[in-house]
Amino acid sequence: MKNSVIYPWFLLILLSIIWGSSPILIKKSLSTLTPFEIGALRISSAAIFLSPFFFKVLNQINKNNFFLLLLSGVIGNLIPYFLYPLAQTEIDSSTSGVLTSLTPFFALLIGGIFYQQKIYKNNITGLIIGFIGTFCLIFFSTENKSLNANLYGLFVVIATLFYGINLNLLKYHLVKLDPLTITSTSLFFISPITIWLLISETTFFSNLDTLSDNINGVFYVLILGIVGTAIATIIFYRLVQIRDTVFASSVTYLMPITAVFLGLIDGEIINLIQFFGMLLILIGVYWANKKSK
């Protein structure tokens, strides 16, 4: 199957389901855990899961890359994984999922500003359309919440900005490293921070006697860490290897479909303006990444 035409599409659909399910898993875990507990436990579990790979490749990594790998872990995992649950204390999981599709916008902007990547007219048009959609989605995300509550969507926008920075960091500075090496090393480097946060800044370990009350939340976060972070990242880089970055990035078009569908099943209500904003974001992402003739 690995050599078949179906295999890349299988990986793409699988990845869109895994990453598209992340917002609803965060929503479920917020019922028993705090945003800090979710972010710290997610990264820690992913790092522990990939630790055997880290110790296997540690001696093969050039020490000059250690700082870049740490930086990749901070901006690509540490900060976003705390921003997402914080945002979802006020916004719906479907909104969070669609806002994530802004990642290619910021990757394009950072590449154009700092790495002289060519930006075409369709890129600019797509950016404008996408940001209009983002405005609609954030400021009209619900009918009964205050403006301050809706502004929590900006936390997801900031997270996608960090994703965009990290993509360019990987593309222009760590391109020679194996994807599994990048993932396992960057996660392992930031895991002491998240473990320290779990111990000193949360009540997670001090309330282990009541773990049975929080077991569902912990279970959801472990899925986020092991499947949604460790395994999904490996799948994504594998997809890049066997096809190309354009094909792999199309997962951003499929993720919102999964997120919105699961949100609707969970009882979330999407108003017309919010739906219009989602549609604009998807159109903008497609148009910004459309190849110029």
Q: What's the pLDDT tens digit per position in 262-291?
A: 888 888 777 788 788 878 877 877 777 666
- Mapping DSSP to helix (H, G, I), strand (E, B) and coil, where does residue 204 land? coil
In this model, does residue 139 exceed pLDDT 80? no
> What mean pLDDT comes out for the span 243-267?
75
Q: Are 191 and 44 in contact (CB under 8 A)?
A: yes
% the chain with pLDDT above 90: 32
Angle at Cα 100 formed by Cα 241 and Cα 186, nearest 5°? 50
In this model, does residue 209 exceed pLDDT 80? no
Q: How many helices (H) and strands (E) does the chain have?
A: 16, 0
Tell me how far apart the alpha carbons of residues 125 and 144 are, in angstroms, rounded to a whole number. 32
In this model, does residue 250 exceed pLDDT 70? no
**Most distant CA pair in the chain, distance:** 62
* CA 41 to each of CA 26, 79, 82, 235, 248: distance values in angstroms, whole numbers, following the listed order: 12, 13, 10, 21, 27
Q: Are 61 and 69 in contact (CB under 8 A)?
A: yes
Q: Are 185 and 95 in contact (CB under 8 A)?
A: no
Q: Which range is least confidently modeled, 12-16, 32-36, 105-109, 190-194?
A: 105-109
Tell me how far apart the alpha carbons of residues 241 and 205 are, in angstroms, rounded to a whole number. 40
The identity of residue 34, as a single letter, is: T
210: left (phi over 0), alpha (psi -120 to 50) or beta: alpha
* CA 1 to each of CA 5, 18, 154, 245, 258: distance values in angstroms, whole numbers, following the listed order: 8, 21, 41, 21, 25
> What mean pLDDT comes out for the span 171-192?
89
pLDDT, position 284: 79
C-alpha torsion 212→50→35→23, nearest 10: -100
pLDDT, position 11: 87
In this model, does residue 115 exceed pLDDT 90? no
Q: Are 92 and 247 in contact (CB under 8 A)?
A: no
Between residues 250 and 41, the one the model is more confident about: 41
CA nearest neighbour of 164 among 242, 65, 249, 68: 249
Backbone torsions φ then ψ of 188, nearest 5 degrees: -65, -35
pLDDT, position 142: 55
